[in-house]
């Protein structure tokens, strides 16, 4: 059975490696890693992220067409409108459920029995037809 060796580096050592990279002693992270015998491929990158001055980190640049920004604004506005409409619909559903409960209580009937008997039909028309008049 092989014994696994886990290396722990001191804060001072980590900062020294990052400073050497920032100072230009090494041309690349790989050179610094090999020089100091650091085996982890992402170890020095993590140190740069934690201790560096950000100029060695990759920058994210978003390139977009001129009309894309307008499309994004339009999509965000539409999402807001849809969220508001959804909220109104949910509020109406809560009110309808409350009205149904109150009406069933007034008639002395259980809500579930009423739902079962109505079978999803509307009774707005003449009695027994299930159609609007």
Note the pLDDT tens digit of each residue in 76-131.
999 999 999 999 999 999 999 999 999 999 989 898 888 888 776 665 655 555 55
Q: Tell me whether residue 127 is in a domain.
A: no
| Two tokens, residue 100 | 């149904």
* Three-class secondary structure of residue 124 per DSSP: coil
Position 40 confidence tier, pLDDT thresholds 50, 70, 90: confident
111: how many CB neighbours lie within 10 A of its CB? Answer: 14
State the residue range of the domain holding 18.
11-51
Please report whether residue 56 resides in a domain. no
Which residues make Cβ contacts (< 8 Å) with residue 12, sequence separation at least 6?
none
Tell me how many domains the chain contains.
2
User: Is 72 contained in some domain?
Assistant: no
Residue 89 lies in a domain: yes
Contact 16, 25 (CB under 8 A): no
Domain-located, residue 62:
no
């Amino acid at each position: 059975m092989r014994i696994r060796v886990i290396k722990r580096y001191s804060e001072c050592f980590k900062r020294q490696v990052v400073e050497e990279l920032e100072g230009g002693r090494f041309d690349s992270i790989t050179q610094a890693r090999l020089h100091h015998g650091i085996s982890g491929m992402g170890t020095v990158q993590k140190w740069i992220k934690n201790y560096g001055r950000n100029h060695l980190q990759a920058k994210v640049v978003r390139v977009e067409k001129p009309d894309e920004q307008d499309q994004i604004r339009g999509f965000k506005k539409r999402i807001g409108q849809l969220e508001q409409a959804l909220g109104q619909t949910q509020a109406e559903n809560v009110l309808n459920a409350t009205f149904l409960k109150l009406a069933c209580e007034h008639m002395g009937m259980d809500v579930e029995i009423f739902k079962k008997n109505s079978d999803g039909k509307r009774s707005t028309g003449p009695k027994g037809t299930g159609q609007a008049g």
